[in-house]
Chain A
Amino acid sequence: MDADTAIGGPDGRFPSTHVSLIEAAASGLSEAAMDKVIALYWKPVYRFIRIKFQKSNEDAKDLTQGFFASALQRDFFPRFDPTKASFRTYIRMAVERYAANQHGAENRQKRGGGVEFETVEDQEIATESPELEFDREWRRQLFFLALDDLRAHCEQTGKRAQFSIFEDYDLSDRDRLSYSDLAVKYGIPESTVNNHLAWARRTLRAFITERLRGTTSGARELHEEMRRLWK
């Protein structure tokens, strides 16, 4: 299987769905609100389509793009009923239906044109659960966006030291420095390291909550999603 798209990765930009503000408003959401939904869900939808329907990078990107464009043009978002499922589940099920229809239509066109064989790589990918991958990618994307918010906030409010300490400790993929090592490195007391980390975590949590608030139906769903996030 070819490599995943870089969209949504470092410095990535989510592609515009080429839907005007009027069209977005017609579906009941402002453009800003729609952007939040797309920013959080573009990558999980893309990964879900890739794994569930074993699509190439380009095909998965096209289908993802097609899904959001179609969702905006139809009354997909106003039809969401929070009493039946969370917004996350609603999107995943809608993507599954949409991609299955597209996939079916594609196969019907190809029928008679020879038998398609799965590659070994594709078979390996297919053993993963697309639903679990969707949730994992959603979680990763949520943190990724909230971390971006935190970084921007720190730059705007002159809290670069707080972010650097947070980056050195909480975002480190290797052996973490101890609080005392960080205190020496930044020339500050250990208690200040502790306070800076507590502040950064608290603020990151607030940004996560805000991102979720923009993509859930209300307080109840927001709290449920928050609870699931830590499980």
Chain B
Amino acid sequence: MQFDLAIILDNWQSLAAGLARTIGICAISLPVGFLLGVAIALLRMHGGRLLGAFAGAYVELFRNIPFLIQVFLLFFVAPAYGLRLSPLMAAFVAMSAYTSAYAAEIMRGALLSIPAGQTEAGYALGLGYPTILRRVLLPQVLGYILPTSTNLTISLVKESAILSTITVPELTYAAQNIVGRTYSPVEVFTAIALIYWGLTALISALTKRLEIRLQPHLISRRDN
């Protein structure tokens, strides 16, 4: 068994296009999912009985069904009920919804970990809850959620490989195509394994830097 580097070099454009698509899907649906997650978390905490129950059910729904099955439901089952999405659109929706369920739980845990005194101090100063949330709670929460969010981002980037099953032309799909043409699974799958690894390693490194930037008060304390 020998490793033929030429196969990768000959097909690098397809792989690059697949990687670009993977990054594109994640770069849009992860932020959307996180923002949706914040909304779901707030609904669950402050939405009252009905909306709170809805938010809870939403989280349970998307957390408790395998992502592959969610993708199938959206792409193969939803059309039977009149919801017809292109593979790419289905990919965005599935990724965003899945992300939001996890992000909501991360956000809720982080908000609960901030002492009640912070909110009370805001109220006592005459601030409304939206201002307290934006200026007092969320900036503090960022420090807490970054490490867990990095985890989530990395697992979602990996989960995006599942989108190949509904013919979204992302990295894994591109790889399968090349394998189909060249019958060289060893070279191609090794290559995309390395590409996924490189991508997630890059995300870790970037968020680590972000973590430091977002918590000036903790860093200056360390410097002191």
B partners with A:
no
B-binding residues in A (CB < 8 A): none
